[in-house]
């Protein structure tokens, strides 16, 4: 089984998860590891990852997903919000719309990833003129995200991919 790992990462969180997945699969046939390319690398299993950009995968990753037909796909993502499987499920439902039904979806994995400080500054700025309680929650979440992806996220990602790839061999 040839495996391609294709990911997009702006600030390194998703790259960290991609690298830990690669490490876990070091004895397998990884034919491609890196960012999206114009030509889709040929593989049997595609492990596709993206940071969450306004509720979806990034455009380059969506383009990659659109190109894959009759293959096996596992998806991983990082998101600013954590601790909610419900939220991650919704995110994946959106990503899934870009996956052709001819593919077999092996599963998905998300974890939290720290955000740039400007995000917190923006929340704080808005909260000066707003009583919206969601802002407090957003700021608290920002602080929680700072330590992610952490060792537990990495071991969860490894466990996830191990389960998926072993099942297919
Ligand atoms: C412009 C922008 C939009 C984002 N949109 C979302 C979003 O809709 N939902 C979410 O949970 N996180 C969102 N985030 C947070 C990132 O997805 C998160 O920090 C991710 O781990 C970044 O991964 P990276 O380091 O691989 O780039 C956004 C961050 C930025 C900068």
Block means of pLDDT (10 residues each) for the chain, length 169 residues? Answer: 97 98 96 96 98 98 98 98 94 98 98 97 93 93 97 98 85
Give the Cα-Cα-Cα angle 75, 76, 80 (nearest 5 degrees). Answer: 140
pLDDT of 169 reads: 66
- Nearest ligand 1 atom to the CA of 11 is 25
Beta strand spans in 71-158 (E) = 72-79, 104-112
Taking CA atoms only, the protein residue closest to ligand 1 atom 1 is 53
Cα separation, 35 vs 28, in Å, equals 19
Give the residue extent of every domain in the chain: 2-113+148-167, 115-147
Give 44 Cα–ligand 1 centroid separation in angstroms.
29
The reply to whether omega before 149 is within 30° of 0 (cis) is: yes
pLDDT of 161 reads: 98
pLDDT of 88 reads: 98
pLDDT of 83 reads: 83
Helix/strand/coil for 2:
strand
Radius of gyration of the chain (CA): 17
Q: Would you tell me which CATH number, out of the four given (3.30.1490.20, 1.10.10.10, 3.40.50.360, 1.10.3720.10), belongs to the domain 2-113+148-167?
A: 3.40.50.360
Residue among 80, 114, 120 to mutate when testing ligand 1 (max atoms within 8 A of CB): 80
Cα separation, 138 vs 118, in Å, equals 13
pLDDT of 144 reads: 97
pLDDT of 166 reads: 78
Cα separation, 52 vs 4, in Å, equals 20
Cα separation, 16 vs 158, in Å, equals 11
CB atoms near residue 154 (< 10 Å): 19
């Amino acid at each position: 089984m040839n495996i391609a790992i294709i990911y997009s990462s702006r600030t390194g969180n998703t790259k960290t998860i991609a690298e830990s997945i690669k490490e876990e699969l070091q004895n397998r046939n990884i034919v491609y590891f890196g960012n999206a390319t114009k030509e889709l690398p040929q593989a049997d299993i595609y492990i596709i990852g993206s940071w969450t950009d306004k509720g979806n995968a990034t455009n380059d990753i969506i383009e990659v997903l659109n190109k894959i037909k009759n293959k096996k796909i596992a998806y991983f993502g990082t998101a600013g919000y954590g601790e909610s499987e419900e939220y991650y499920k919704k995110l994946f439902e959106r990503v899934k719309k870009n996956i052709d039904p001819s593919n077999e979806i092996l599963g998905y994995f998300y974890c939290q990833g720290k955000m740039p400080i400007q995000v917190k500054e923006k929340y704080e700025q808005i909260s000066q003129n707003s009583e919206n309680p969601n802002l407090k929650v957003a700021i608290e979440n920002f602080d929680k995200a700072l330590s992610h992806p952490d060792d537990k996220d990495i071991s969860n990602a490894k466990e996830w991919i191990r389960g998926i790839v072993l099942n297919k061999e």
